[in-house]
Structure 1
């Protein structure tokens, strides 16, 4: 049985779904969000858990034969950076304690594409050394710190760490007004008959549809062997706002879109993740391009608020 913390969030729910599709038994934890999406209803065990409660976390091992952990639970920073770091670090350390107490096979944890900031080479590959840089968000700073904390904590335990450098992900269950990806907010405005904020046609970057992200993580958790501890998780391609606009107009011909030619900040390359390692070791290949992802998302949003 595999435990997915934050398992009712966007990436966690899709990871749980993919694990079930691969024949795994899955228990997911949730804290603030308790509504089970339709695609998981009756297929997973749901446990209410505050991951900062160490005793409650460890007690799960008395009820379930957990053999692997995917730690995706996390919070959104407020004004107090120390409070954010304390909360998410406590949850991480409790998850690591549980992994060691239960003797799981693998412990996967969410890192971020943002850890590569400062590297000029594109696409970004796992072999690149990380550099000191100014990070645009506290979450990225924390994710960079997570990587050595996890690998050092699991040294000598026989538990394989799997550092998931997750690319730009969007899809079902994402906050439609999230600042981390413009696509859901754009879709929401179009569905309301409004004109979304202006976008530059040739801006873009790493945009992976959540079901693909979840399936990649599930394949990493179930692969017979892994040759590395760090994996880029995305679709391995750069997409542009122009592709999103074209797909939206094909699906909703009367969509009002304010598209500005070119790029907002002039010539340049938008970073994206190389997934050669992921593909070679798990056989992963993305199932969604921009058009098919948008069609699926529009279908989902027709009956779901987020």
Structure 2
């Protein structure tokens, strides 16, 4: 592809998905430019041979400057703060930021725009695997964060249909794996369980995907994805009982005890109301968070397999590599403190 020889822009390149896209592009010898805010933690892309430019998706001028001369944009900016009491930043960052980027991409003649979306934009189907063709069917229960992500994806598909944006959307499941410098909450929880530091878990389940496979899907979508289409990027569905048993077995620890979902939801309901009565804001424990932790079931990645040539690795390999990375990082941190 001609885009291989041009500079490639990654927005959100300091995050878990974005940094792995950067890592794989750099490994292929591609010319990579990363758009970051000056406040971004750059640990995930430190020492990689990339060009860093500073800007913000809410600043259209900085987006156009970053895209100048680029062939492909991998858009991985996500504001995941579903716990914010004031949800205004969630819409601005997830929707308005994307619209600004799409307008800039059209103005700059970008040849491919790969958007990191989420499994949260997919339908819910408790009776079987979900596909991309199933219409969204839970707007009445979707919290503001999901509504914002759904609106963002719908805007992208509309831009592809009505304005000729060469875009592809990837509906990515919960990501696990190594090189998680932030770290992300669910991936870090896996490590906490594995090392025996989290004795209680909630009996919920989730679709999963290896972070490296998610990044590979983005690169495959650049080459093979059909414009205006979305692809499910999910591997195995797993209950936390099985996931955590796998993790603790690798470290020789006992699995945690599990709280039933309904009990955990009830605790969240009480805690949520107590926080509101006390006038607290931005609390993590909420019924929305608990609902999202167990609402998703099996996702069918057959379309990505057929059209992109995407073949994810076994979940056990993902868990093993994630734990090995966290363990090594902890050893390095201890060594740094004792030097």
TM bucket (normalised to shorter chain) is 0.7 to 0.9
Query: For residue 90 of structure 1, what is the aligned residue in structure 2?
Result: 96
Query: For residue 300 of structure 2, what is the aligned residue in structure 1?
Result: 274
Greater fraction helix? 2
Q: Which of structure 1's runs of 4+ aligned residues deviate more than 6 A?
A: none
CA contact (8 A) 1:174 1:184 kept: no
Could you list the per-position Cα deviations for residues 14-47 of structure 1 after superposition, in whole angstroms to 9, with x for gaps in the alignment?
1222233445322222223232426x62332222
TM-score, normalised with respect to structure 2: 0.75
The aligned runs of 1:116-155 (5 Å cut-off) are 116-155=122-161
CA contact (8 A) 1:14 1:211 kept: yes
Equivalences, count:
291
Could you list the per-position Cα deviations for residues 224-283 of structure 1 after superposition, in whole angstroms to 9, with x for gaps in the alignment?
x62761111122x21232332332233211x2432349x6459x9961221111111121
Q: Distance in 2 between matches of 1:35 and 1:269?
A: 33
The aligned runs of 1:189-268 (5 Å cut-off) are 190-191=194-195, 193-200=196-203, 203-223=204-224, 226=226, 229-235=229-235, 237-253=236-252, 255-260=253-258, 264=261
Q: Distance in 2 between matches of 1:66 and 1:110?
A: 18
By how many angstroms is 1:144 displaced? 0.8
Q: Distance in 2 between matches of 1:194 and 1:301?
A: 13
Q: Distance in 2 between matches of 1:242 and 1:59?
A: 48
Could you say if the C-alpha distance between residues 135 and 170 of structure 1 is closer, same or farther in structure 2, counting changes exceeding 3 Å? Answer: farther
By how many angstroms is 1:187 displaced? 1.4
SS of the residue corresponding to residue 198 of structure 1 reads strand
Q: Distance in 2 between matches of 1:177 and 1:105?
A: 31
SS of the residue corresponding to residue 302 of structure 1 reads helix
SS of the residue corresponding to residue 207 of structure 1 reads strand
- Unaligned residue ranges in structure 1 (runs of 5+): none
**2:169 aligned to which of 163, 168, 175:** 163
CA contact (8 A) 1:243 1:290 kept: no
TM-score, normalised with respect to structure 1: 0.83
Could you list the per-position Cα deviations for residues 193-233 of structure 1 after superposition, in whole angstroms to 9, with x for gaps in the alignment?
53432343xx422011211111111111122x627611111
Could you list the per-position Cα deviations for residues 153-189 of structure 1 after superposition, in whole angstroms to 9, with x for gaps in the alignment?
34455432212211122333265472xx3x4224135
Report which stretch shifted further, 207-216 or 109-118. 109-118
The aligned runs of 1:19-58 (5 Å cut-off) are 19-31=25-37, 32-37=39-44, 41-58=47-64
Q: Distance in 1 between matches of 2:152 and 2:66?
A: 23
By how many angstroms is 1:141 displaced? 0.9
2:80 matches 1:70: no
Could you say if the C-alpha distance between residues 227 and 48 of structure 1 is closer, same or farther in structure 2, counting changes exceeding 3 Å? Answer: closer
